[in-house]
Chain A
Amino acid sequence: MRIQLALRNRMFFFFSVVFPIGMFFLYAGIFAKGNPRVVSFFLGPVIALNVMGSFWGLSAMLVTFREQGILRRFHVTPVTAADMLASSILANYLLTLPTVFIELLFARLIFRVQNLGDLFSLLILVTVGTVSFASLGLVVASVTNTMQETQVLNQLIWLPLIFLSGATLPIAYLPKVAQSVAVFLPATYLVTGLQGAMYSSFPVWKLLTQILSLFFWAVLTFFVAAQLFRWEPESKIPRNAKLWALATALPFFFLGVWENKNGQILTQAQAAYRSLDQPAKSDQPPKSDQPSMGTPHPQKAAPISTNPQ
Chain B
Amino acid sequence: MPEPILQVDNLFKRYGDVQAVRGVSFSVEEGEVFGLLGPNGAGKTSTVEILEGLRSPDSGYVRVCGLDPQVSSRELKHDIGAALQSTALPEKLKVMEALRLFAGFYKRRRDPEELLKRFGLEEKRNTHYGKLSGGQKQRLALAMALLSDPRVLFFDEPTAGLDPQVRREIYDIIEELRREKKTILMTTHYIEEAERLCDRVAIVDHGQVIALGSPRELKQRSGGKTRIEVKLAKPAANGTLQTLEGVADAREVGGAYVLHTQRPPQAIVSLVKHLEAEGNELVSLEIATPSLEDVFIEMTGRRLRD
* Segment at the interface with B among A52-60, A67-75, A132-140, A204-212: A67-75
A232 touches B102 (CB 8 A): no
Contacting residues, chain B, for A75 (C-beta < 8 A): 54
For A2-21 the 0/1 string (1 means CB < 8 A from B) is 00110010011000000000
Cβ-defined partner of A11 (8 Å) among B88, B89, B92: B92
Nearest Cβ distance between residue B212 and chain A, in whole angstroms?
26
With both chains docked as a complex, state the minimum distance between the C-beta of B18 and any C-beta of chain A, in angstroms.
14
The 10 A-B pairs of least Cβ separation, nearest first, read A69-B88, A78-B77, A77-B105, A76-B82, A70-B88, A68-B88, A4-B104, A1-B104, A78-B74, A78-B78
Q: B100 and A4: CB pair below 8 A?
A: yes
Interface residues in A1-48 (C-beta closer than 8 Å to B): 1, 4-5, 8, 11-12
Evaluate contact between A76 and B101: CB separation under 8 angstroms. Answer: no
For window 64-91 of chain B, which residues contact chain A by CB distance below 8 Å? 74, 77-78, 80, 82, 84, 86-90
Q: A141: shortest Cβ distance to chain B, in Å?
A: 16
Q: Would you call A8 and B88 a contact (CB within 8 A)?
A: no
Provide the bound-state CA to CA distance between A69 and B156, in Å.
Answer: 14
Q: Which of A68, A72, A80 contacts B84 (CB 8 A)?
A: A72
Q: A76-B54, A77-B102, A78-B105 are in contact. Are A12 and B77 (CB under 8 A)?
A: no
Q: Provided the pairs A69-B86, A76-B84, A232-B54 are in contact, do residues A8 and B77 lie with their beta carbons within 8 angstroms?
A: no
**A231 interface residue, CB < 8 Å from B?**
yes
Q: Is A276 in contact with chain B by the CB < 8 A criterion?
A: no
Contact partner of B77 among A1, A5, A72, A77, CB < 8 A? A77
- A215 contacts B by Cβ under 8 Å: no
Q: Are B93 and A8 in contact (CB under 8 A)?
A: yes
Known A-B contacts A5-B101, A11-B92, A12-B90; the reply to A78 vs B54 at CB < 8 A is no
Q: Do A4 and B101 contact each other (CB < 8 Å), given the known contacts A69-B86, A73-B89, A76-B84?
A: yes
Kindly state whether residue A79 has any CB partner on chain B within 8 Å: yes
CA distance A261 to B102 in the complex (A): 53
Candidates A4, A65, A79, A232; contact of B90 at CB < 8 Å: A65
B106 is contacted by which of A11, A69, A77 (Cβ under 8 Å)? A77
- List residues of chain B with CB within 8 A of the CB of A73: 84, 87-89, 144
How many Å lie between the Cα of A87 and that of B93 in the bound state?
16
B193 at interface (Cβ–Cβ under 8 A)?
A: no
Given the complex, which residues of A lie within 8 Å of B105, measured CB to CB?
1, 77-79
Residues 119-134 of chain B, each 1 if its beta carbon lies under 8 Å from chain A, else 0: 0000000000000000
Pick the residue among B89, B92, B101, B106 that contacts A78 (CB under 8 A): B106
Could you tell me the distance in whole angstroms from the C-beta of A37 to the nearest C-beta in chain B?
A: 43
B93 neighbours in A (Cβ, 8 Å): 8, 11
Residue contact A8 to B102, C-beta cutoff 8 Å: no
With beta carbons under 8 angstroms apart, the residue of A8, A72, A76 that contacts B97 is A8
Docked complex Cα distance between A134 and B135 (Å): 37
CB B90 to nearest CB in A, in angstroms, measures: 6
Residue contact B74 to A80, C-beta cutoff 8 Å: yes
Bound together, the chains give a CA A232 to CA B54 distance in angstroms of: 8
Interface residues of B in 37-87 (CB under 8 A from A): 52-55, 74, 77-78, 80, 82, 84, 86-87
18 A-B residue pairs with Cβ-Cβ distance under 8 Å, sorted by A, are A1-B105, A4-B104, A8-B90, A8-B93, A8-B101, A11-B93, A12-B92, A69-B86, A69-B87, A70-B88, A72-B54, A72-B88, A73-B87, A73-B89, A76-B53, A76-B80, A76-B84, A78-B105
- How far apart are B275's CB and chain A's nearest CB, in angstroms? 51
Please give, as numbers and ranges, the residues of chain B lying within 8 Å of A72 by CB-CB distance.
54, 84, 88
How distant is the Cα of A130 from the Cα of B220 in the complex, in angstroms?
66
List residues of chain A with CB within 8 A of the CB of B82.
76
- The residue of chain B having its C-beta at the shortest distance from the C-beta of A232 within the complex is B54
B54–A231 CB distance below 8 A: yes
Nearest CB in chain A: distance from B121 CB, A: 17
Q: For A12, list chain B residues within 8 Å (CB).
A: 90, 92
Given contacts A77-B102, A78-B78, A80-B74, 16 further A-B contacts (CB under 8 A): A1-B104, A4-B104, A5-B101, A8-B93, A11-B90, A11-B93, A12-B90, A69-B87, A69-B88, A73-B87, A75-B54, A76-B54, A77-B106, A77-B148, A78-B77, A78-B106
Distance (whole angstroms) from the CB of A277 to the closest CB of chain B: 50
Q: Which residue of A lies closest to B100 (CB)?
A: A4
Q: Give A56 to B181 CA distance when docked, in angstroms.
A: 48
Which residues of A lie under 8 Å from residue B84 when comparing CB positions? 69, 72-73, 76
Min CB distance A66 to B, Å, is 10
**Interfacial residues of chain B within 97-112, with CB under 8 A of chain A in the complex:** 97, 100-102, 104-106
A76 to B148, CA, bound (A): 11
- What is the CA–CA distance of A75 and B20 in the complex, to the nearest angstrom? 21
Assembly CA distance A232 to B53 (angstroms): 12
Residue of B nearest to A4 (CB): B104
Contact A70 B89 (CB under 8 A): yes
Mark interface residues in A98-109 (1 if CB within 8 Å of B CB, else 0). 000000000000
Residue of B nearest to A79 (CB): B105
Within the assembled complex, what's the spacing in Å between the Cα atoms of A245 and B21?
Answer: 33
What residue in chain A is nearest B129 (Cβ atoms)?
A70
Q: For residue A5, which residues in chain B have a CB less than 8 angstroms away from its CB?
A: 101
